[in-house]
A and B are shown apart, each in its own frame.
Chain A
């Protein structure tokens, strides 16, 4: 699935931040979304490659896709149905 096909509700720029702030800010941004809506996160923290998928799994949100654009890691996360 390419980026253009994913309708994104909110974009979070977490570039330049290190652990744990990309996750903290992702959680905060996700709180504002309705189930089914998609959050796009951009990050430069290499740790986010493992952390964002792990966070999505443990919180019941869905990682739709991830890719790299130069030095930036891009994640698309869909808010789960039963996430508070």
Chain B
């Protein structure tokens, strides 16, 4: 330690100077604090992943944006509470209260039941709800971006989405992503 200080001192630099220089260099690389996330899934369980990572990135001082495409648009739709569901069909990892053959999960009523079960489970474990995560995300300055092309395909207009949602295409996402060390596809 003493030796280091001596060496630094010989160059007329204090430890504080070095810290400042290093931090300035890190700050120059915007990619270190930029996260660009794609959210492509529109089920309740998969809505959590991009929102949790996006809010945490922003809470960690990063510029975070989440690009919602295809079914991911459900997450930022004004009616997300009803649109986000879980389906036990084709979801063999989903824990069921009692073991049941696969075809049973496709019977009418099983989807809503699974959705209710998951919501209840999340609540009982005190996991934040989607609404709270969306509010936290916007509060922290996470950019929520809807994919214009899939909006057109599904017949959505700007008014179908939450206030503050932006609209853009693939080029806009890539422009963001090429300046981000953290890019994730969910």
Contacts and interface: CB of A to CB of B under 8 A. Distances in A.
Contacts of B136: 20-21, 24
Contacts of B139: 28
Interface residues of A, number: 18
Interface stretch (B78-86, B106-114, B125-133): B125-133
B56 A23 contact: yes
A18 interface: yes
Nearest to A27: B59
Contact of A23 (B59, B126, B133): B59
Contacts of A18: 125-128
Contacts of A21: 128, 132, 136
A21 to B, nearest CB: 5
B128 A17 contact: yes
Interface string A17-56: 1111101101110000000000000000000000000010
Interface string A54-84: 0100111000000000000000000000111
A10 to B, nearest CB: 16
Nearest to A58: B60
B61 A59 contact: yes
Interface of A: 16-21, 23-24, 26-28, 55, 58-60, 82-84
Given A18-B127, A20-B59, 15 more contacts: A18-B125, A18-B128, A19-B52, A20-B52, A20-B56, A21-B128, A23-B56, A23-B60, A24-B56, A24-B136, A26-B59, A27-B58, A58-B61, A59-B61, A83-B61
Interface in B79-110: none
A35 B61 CA distance: 15
A8 B93 CA distance: 45
Nearest to B27: A82
A58 B56 CA distance: 11
Contact of A24 (B125, B126, B140): B140
Given A19-B52, A27-B140, A59 B60 contact: yes
A84 B61 contact: yes
Nearest to B59: A27
